[in-house]
Amino acid sequence: MSPEVLSVISSLAGVLVGGGISFLLQRNQLRNAYKIKIEELKTEHMAERTARYYLSHKGYTDRKFETIKKGLGGFDDDELRRILVRAGAIRSYRDDEEWWTLLERLPEKIEKKRSKAES
């Protein structure tokens, strides 16, 4: 074989081996990134479900932010507020405290206030 052909074959073999290794490394890295993202989304989804659970309690139409914060530890205040909004809650203020109510329970809250006022 001529040196030129041998040089081309060895270069091609090096490129194929290097490309194969790069492909495998990149594939593993993407799999790990995908798994991490799935876990993050699970955490957020479970936090939203838990927030809805607290706000769906039959005895209370709304909850103090501090009460929800105690039940959903591990989130800073603004992150927890975003979770509450994604769960379908709205914020109100009463006696200089932050209260949260599920939007779907707002009519129930209004009805409770009316019945208290009439009593």
CATH 2.60.40.10 fits 3-118, yes or no: no
Q: Residue 111 — pLDDT band, cuts 50, 70, 90?
A: confident
Q: Show me where the domains of the chain are located.
A: 3-118
* Total-model pTM: 0.66
Q: Chain centroid to CA 7: how far?
A: 54
What confidence tens digit (pLDDT) does each residue in 45-92 have?
Answer: 899 999 999 899 888 889 999 999 998 888 999 999 999 999 999 999
For residue 110, the model assigns a pLDDT of 86
